[in-house]
């Protein structure tokens, strides 16, 4: 492990991922290198089907690459067994995946507490309340998802991603199903999170959304390329 790998919050080299569908081979990633510094807000843009979700899932250890390597805070994910990987995902990474993914029978506070409840943290609900306050939803802690607007539900999802104070937040189209005003609120919160020192990797098909990040890279034909801001 070299010094550069320790310095990056999340880094990957030579990622390859190919799917087979019947006779067809879909080469989603063909050699992706990426390095994101602590406190950086990176956007990865690309058309629908360009491999953005595939890349984000591999970076977060939700899926394994066919080739290549991912390091989170210097730990190579391929060195971890399933249990160690699950712990790293839960404690060092925060996920904001498409369509909120809140449990409908739980309150906002219980949804936000979920990663801590899985870990048996005794102060899970208190920390969830703080995380909800951080995203401006302290007054809605006892509401269930059906009682919240789309933007509020996405803020609960963000509070859940932040509740463990993860090193890296991975966000997949975090504004995908929101109107422009609530999108702006979510993007501002992501920006503030990066300013607080956490690393954000966001994938989006939308150039305007990507413009909120510190740095933009594009994904096309299975490779990443630098895009001007
Ligand atoms: P994006 O998020 O940019 O829309 P994805 O990463 O979801 O792209 O998908 C990239 C390509 O890989 C697409 O052609 C998609 O159909 C294909 N793909 C994604 N996941 C699977 C899978 N589990 N099995 C087969 N093909 C897949
Ligand atoms: Mg996607």
DSSP, residue by residue, 109-177: HHHHHHHHHHTT-TTHHHHHHHHHHHTT-GGGTT--GGGS-HHHHHHHHHHHHHTT--SEEEEESTTTT
Which ligand 1 atom is nearest residue 46's CA? 3
User: Looking at the domain that runs over 10-101+168-227, which CATH code has it been given?
Assistant: 3.40.50.300
pLDDT-based confidence at 227, cuts 50/70/90? confident
pTM: 0.94
Cβ proximity of 36 and 43 under 8 Å: no
pLDDT of 211 reads 96
Question: For the residues 179-184, what does the mean pLDDT come to?
Answer: 92
Question: For the residues 18-40, what does the mean pLDDT come to?
Answer: 96
CA distances from 84 to 26, 60, 94 (A): 30, 13, 16
CA distances from 86 to 54, 90, 113 (A): 18, 6, 17
pLDDT-based confidence at 7, cuts 50/70/90? low
Question: For the residues 195-223, what does the mean pLDDT come to?
Answer: 95
pLDDT digits (tens, 9 = 90+) for 92-130: 999 998 889 999 999 999 999 999 999 999 999 999 999
Question: For the residues 78-87, what does the mean pLDDT come to?
Answer: 96
Cβ proximity of 187 and 202 under 8 Å: no
Which ligand 1 atom is nearest residue 48's CA? 4
Residue from 22, 46, 49 whose mutation best tests the ligand 1 pocket (most atoms within 8 A of CB): 49
In short, whether 48's Cβ falls inside 6 Å of ligand 1 is yes
In short, whether 204's Cβ falls inside 6 Å of ligand 1 is no
Question: For the residues 63-78, what does the mean pLDDT come to?
Answer: 96
Q: How far apart are CA 29 and CA 226, in angstroms?
A: 16
Boundaries of every domain in the chain: 10-101+168-227
Nearest in space to 6 (alpha carbons), one of 39, 41, 35: 35
The mean-pLDDT minimum among 61-65, 157-161, 185-189, 223-227 falls in 223-227
Cβ proximity of 197 and 38 under 8 Å: yes
pLDDT of 165 reads 95
pLDDT at residue 28 is higher than 50: yes
Nearest in space to 43 (alpha carbons), one of 174, 159, 155, 167: 174
pLDDT of 226 reads 85
CA dihedral 225, 226, 228, 229 (to 10 degrees): 110
**H/E element, 72:** strand 67-72
| Residue with CA nearest ligand 1 atom 6 | 51
């Amino acid at each position: 492990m070299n010094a550069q790998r320790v310095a990056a919050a999340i880094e990957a080299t030579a990622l390859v991922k190919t799917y087979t569908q019947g006779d067809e081979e879909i080469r989603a990633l063909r050699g992706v290198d990426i390095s994101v510094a602590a406190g950086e807000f990176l956007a990865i843009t690309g058309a629908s089907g360009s491999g953005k979700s595939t890349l984000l899932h591999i970076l977060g250890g939700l899926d394994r690459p066919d080739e290549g390597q991912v390091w989170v805070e210097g730990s190579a994910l391929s060195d971890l067994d399933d249990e160690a990987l699950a712990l790293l995902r839960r404690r060092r990474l925060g996920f904001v995946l498409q369509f909120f993914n809140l449990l409908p029978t739980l309150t906002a506070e219980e949804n936000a507490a979920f990663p801590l409840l899985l870990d048996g943290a005794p102060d899970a609900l208190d920390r969830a309340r703080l995380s909800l306050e951080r995203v401006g939803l302290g007054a809605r802690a006892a509401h269930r998802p059906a009682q919240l607007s789309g933007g509020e539900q996405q803020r609960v999802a963000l509070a859940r991603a932040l509740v463990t104070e993860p090193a890296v937040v991975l966000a997949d189209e975090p504004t995908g199903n929101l109107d422009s005003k609530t999108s702006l609120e979510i993007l501002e919160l992501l920006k503030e999170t990066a300013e607080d020192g956490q690393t954000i990797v966001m994938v989006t098909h939308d150039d305007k959304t990507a413009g909120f990040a510190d740095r933009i890279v594009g994904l096309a034909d299975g490779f990443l390329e630098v895009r001007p801001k």
